[in-house]
Chain A
Amino acid sequence: MDLTPEFYAAADPQVSPSGKELLFAAMRRRRGHWQIWRMAAAGGAARQLTRCAADCQRAAWLPDGHIVYTLSGGRAARLGSQLYRARADGAHPHPITFGPGNFRLEAVLRSGRLLVSAAAPLDRRAAAAPTRALYTLRPDGSTLRLFRWQYPAHAAPTSARELPDGTVIFVAQPSRPAAGPAAKMGKLAWFPPQAARAALLPGAKPGLDSVRLLDGRRWLLSGSAATSGCAIYIYDSAAKALVTRVYQAPRMACAQATPLEAQPAPWIYHSILHLQMASGRVVCLNAYRSTLAPGGSWRRGRLAQVRVLALRGGRRVTLGAAPVQPDGSFYLRLPADLPLSFELLDARGALVQAQRSWFWLRPGEDAGCQGCHENPALAPVNRWPLALKRQAGAIALGLGRTASNRAPMRPR
């Protein structure tokens, strides 16, 4: 049954937690833009939720009555594709990512956080680079973090899904285009909980680009290849084998197959942002800790300052510099919703280490990092950072003296 006969193309179907509605991306005409639409799962008239001047795709339901989707192209996404959040009727769309890296929504995890794929590292130059990784993000756009661990550079994850036990499976596409049939060879990969690195499963299939869960054991795989067109398979994860092909359409390119059934609702994440503010705060516990330094740490006393860069209008600008305390800590208040990056300087102002990625702070966000490119597998050291002990407050850089930058009284 063709649910969308009036569209030229449709993709990314997402079933609502109730199982009664569908969210999907579609374009009416061949040269139009992709928009997000909503319709009853049983079929019927589709309702357009977005009116993007570029392409809006990869949408998902949020448990608090909002949707989140990916906007690519156009002026709004001059740093690459970005994630947007809107009400379930499409009203009040606003961005929740603000940096380079071509963000793409993959899934909403059961914890309520968003699982996104983006370039690794998050850099402007990475827009054209094929290396991508999975990240997590709160649905208000705060606390962007690399998901679980570093990835093999050759795997570009897509179509990630979370299993009930916390395992995240995804299709690993080759990062660097290869010649011949291997160019479209997708492999199933997974990040099991309590494991640090990806383990590839057998079951590679040409053109594989989507995986959905049927039940605890079986997955629905779909993809398209030049020779066979669209094909949908059922994959038995216990046997690690494709057990049956349930659909094939040689002349069609299919994106994703998804079971029409109720989905477990993820947790609601209660945002603690203060959107009236123009800034956020960041505290670094120990800038000396770095995987880029010999032995995992810079020599004590070498770091004197941290310089903050921002991307404004596509240009790098320096917001200022602040002292790094002897224990390596620093505590800053920085403009919100702006791509930011740190550079560590020595006492003479010479560059010791530059951050490779861009990050952002949401309004009123308190962000923390253990170090600068530190080993993410290390737990923090329990120490009262000197930057918090000695400084009267966060050092503001790139901000005017506006009331909106003051810290709000918040409950504890």
Chain B
Amino acid sequence: MTPRLQREGGKKAALRRALWVALAIAAVAATLAMRGPRHEARDWAAVYSRRRYYDPVDLKLSPHGRRLYVACEGRNEVLAINTASRRVIAAIPVGRRPKALALSPGGRRLFVANAWSGAISQIDTRALQVTRTLPAGWGVEGMAADRTGHYLYAANPLGNDISVIDLASGRETTRLAAGHFPEFAARLRGSWIGISNLLAQPAPPDTPPSSQLTLINAATRQVRWQVAIPGAVQMRHIAQTPPRFGGYLLIPFLQPHNLIPLIELRRDWYASNGLAIVQLRGRRAPRVREVLLDELDRAFANGYGAAVAPHTPWALITASGANQVAILNLERLHRLLQSPDADELARRLDAAPQFVARRLPTGRDPTAVAASPNGHFAYVANRADDTISVIDLAGLRNAGLIRLGAQRPLTARRRGQQLFFSALHSQDHEIACASCHPYEGFEDGLVWSFETPRLGRDVVENKTLLAIRGTSPFKWNGLNPNLATQDGPRTAMYIFRSQGFSPVQVRDLVAFINARPLPPNPHLAPGGLNPEQARGRALFFRTRTNTGQIIPLHDRCYYCHAPLTHFTSRVLMNVGTATRFDDTGAFKVPSLEGIYMRPPYLHNGEAQTLEEIWTRFNPRDRHGITSDMNKVQLNELIAYLDTL
């Protein structure tokens, strides 16, 4: 008997020890969590420096056309290329993640938007050196200098605004509102500056999305028009046609069909790709029309770059998912837009052959395109290939390839990147992963109706792929245990409607997705939380209500949004947000990291703001005890959540 008693005693002791260890771990965890958000300590520079590919993402040609500047977001460099020799003549280090370029009117100064630095590098194009750094907003990207060269306009996608920078003083003078996620900018004829938005304007989730084009009068430095582009998201580069071809603005976009059950893919059942065509009409509101670049059984997935070739009838549009550049005949397009049926062009899949003169293959993930001032050549940046395609505009043919550096062995992550942006794995080349996850893995801010057991039910908001490592299971219903399951057969059967990815490709794709980081959080100051954010943190971790009542453990914020696991407990919880269109009430607790940049909220995208989660959609305090909080406290809580 003695040994048995000893064993039992040993078990009890072991249990006690385990309990103490668990309590100690919990105490340490709580202490760590109280010190601030997890990613304060992240070394983003180290994360970023591991990228070693060039990832050319924007192009600008010098006014004389002899030099091509290439923003390489993968290397934090701008390359200068001699267009005659097609050789790189300089590599200029700039800030983190250079995403966009702009030239001053005379071409003496080149501006580089460093999205992750929140600053703009100014380069002297003669010395090919950075001469100064200009301030900018959050995640700065698209830029355009006005005609005088006195002011620079820079779109800040994470701030939803536009910085107006006085180039004489180097200071930001004004912030202009710009709708949701402004990302691309262009200087237009006259005194106009155009800014296009990547994501749709906030709206009820059961309504079709609408995006915004912001037109600024550079003479007054004020927004003159906020042009709604109905049905469109993911608007990107802006090109303007000559007056003899209508003077239209051409902006590639995606028309999502997110409100229709995704039961097939062909004939644009899921989404259409095309162009917004905006006509400036002086004092009258701009006129918007749309044409599709998709055709009956071949999509032009994920339009991206746009350029008009001077002295020619050609405009060039790249499709990052189709690995193509379409060369448009502007004369024919102009004529088509005069036809009485022009309003129907927004849905016509047989219109493109009437104005697309040629479709040329490019490298992988073509992004920006630029045409030489004499109209002889055009250049396309192939982001996932580290190459520049050269197009002969006289013969409308490919005329060469500029390799930006020595060929490097492709890592699994790089191969995954190539797969992520390619639509060639889906039926009729309709969609790529990037079609729903723009901004390199972000979300499109839309709700989608999938092929569910009850069609039209369980419509859910798209989820981001940024920083999702360690947050499995995935999807709102938590049915996907890991990314490999999601990206393998499920994507093949229910999304791509094709063979999908091979197991090796799935492995590469998962490697890429797992490496998607969040951009640096602009709400988080280097010194840590400010007083308001600190008070918000205390609210997040509070255990008593304002009246002193103890909040049950499962009603505390940190119980479900556990700090040590990316602010998600990774389980399904019913917080009373289900509607009559849901067949389930429990949803996977979403991570709160990067929550500031991804409205709308809740599983069905009903809450347009964080505040609405508690003020409109938590009437019975099932989504945490929040009804006792006053407006100030809610603002403080939001201020803290914005830092995660």
A379/B455 contact (C-beta < 8 A), A194-B298, A366-B261, A384-B259 known = no
Task: Assess whether B352 is interfacial by the CB under 8 Å rule.
Answer: yes
Which residues of the other chain, A, contact B356 by a CB distance below 8 angstroms?
194
Task: Assess whether B427 is interfacial by the CB under 8 Å rule.
Answer: yes
Residue of B nearest to A197 (CB): B350
Mark A266-309 against chain B: 1 for CB-CB distance below 8 A, else 0: 01111010000000010101000000000000000000000000
Are A412 and B479 in contact, CB atoms less than 8 angstroms apart?
A: yes
Are B353 and A366 in contact, CB atoms less than 8 angstroms apart?
A: no
Which residues of the other chain, A, contact B475 by a CB distance below 8 angstroms?
412
Task: Assess whether A166 is interfacial by the CB under 8 Å rule.
Answer: yes
Which residues of the other chain, A, contact B457 by a CB distance below 8 angstroms?
388
Are A270 and B453 in contact, CB atoms less than 8 angstroms apart?
A: no
Are A193 and B498 in contact, CB atoms less than 8 angstroms apart?
A: no
Are A269 and B269 in contact, CB atoms less than 8 angstroms apart?
A: no
Are B449 and A384 in contact, CB atoms less than 8 angstroms apart?
A: yes
Bound Cα distance from A377 to B453, whole angstroms: 29
Bound Cα distance from A380 to B255, whole angstroms: 10
Interface residues of B in 241-297 (CB under 8 A from A): 255-261, 263-264, 266-269, 272, 292, 294-297
Are B292 and A270 in contact, CB atoms less than 8 angstroms apart?
A: no
A268/B499 contact (C-beta < 8 A), A368-B269, A381-B347, A394-B455 known = yes
Q: How far is the CB of B211 from chain A (nearest CB, A)?
A: 13
The one of B208, B347, B459 in contact with A379, judged by C-beta atoms closer than 8 angstroms, is B347
Are B427 and A166 in contact, CB atoms less than 8 angstroms apart?
A: no
Task: Assess whether A75 is interfacial by the CB under 8 Å rule.
Answer: no
Majority-rule SS of B interface residues: loop
Task: Assess whether A259 is interfacial by the CB under 8 Å rule.
Answer: no
Which residues of the other chain, B, contact A270 by a CB distance below 8 angstroms?
489, 492-493, 499-500
Are B208 and A382 in contact, CB atoms less than 8 angstroms apart?
A: yes
Bound Cα distance from A393 to B580, whole angstroms: 12
Chain B interface: which of A22-30, A141-149, A201-209?
A141-149
Q: How far is the CB of A113 from chain B (nearest CB, A)?
A: 8
Mark B13-32 against chain A: 1 for CB-CB distance below 8 A, else 0: 00000000000000000000
Task: Assess whether A407 is interfacial by the CB under 8 Å rule.
Answer: yes
Which residues of the other chain, B, contact A65 by a CB distance below 8 angstroms?
none
Are A283 and B296 in contact, CB atoms less than 8 angstroms apart?
A: no
Task: Assess whether B454 is interfacial by the CB under 8 Å rule.
Answer: yes
Bound Cα distance from A383 to B456, whole angstroms: 11
Are B494 and A382 in contact, CB atoms less than 8 angstroms apart?
A: no
Mark B613-630 against chain A: 1 for CB-CB distance below 8 A, else 0: 000000000000000000
Are B296 and A410 in contact, CB atoms less than 8 angstroms apart?
A: no
Residue of A nearest to B269 (CB): A380
Residue of A nearest to B479 (CB): A411
Are A377 and B349 in contact, CB atoms less than 8 angstroms apart?
A: yes
A378/B349 contact (C-beta < 8 A), A194-B359, A388-B261, A412-B450 known = yes
Bound Cα distance from A389 to B453, whole angstroms: 14
Chain B residues near A (Cβ < 8 Å): 206, 208, 231, 255-261, 263-264, 266-269, 272, 292, 294-298, 344, 347-350, 352-353, 356, 359, 427-428, 449-459, 475, 477, 479-480, 489-490, 492-494, 498-500, 581
Q: Which 6 A-B pairs have the closest CB atoms?
A: A388-B456, A267-B499, A379-B268, A377-B350, A366-B263, A384-B259
13 pairs across A/B with beta carbons < 8 Å? A166-B298, A270-B493, A272-B494, A366-B263, A378-B347, A379-B348, A383-B259, A384-B449, A384-B456, A388-B456, A389-B581, A407-B453, A412-B475
Chain A residues near B (Cβ < 8 Å): 111-112, 143, 145, 148-149, 166, 193-196, 267-270, 272, 281, 283, 285, 331, 366-368, 376-385, 387-389, 393-394, 407-412
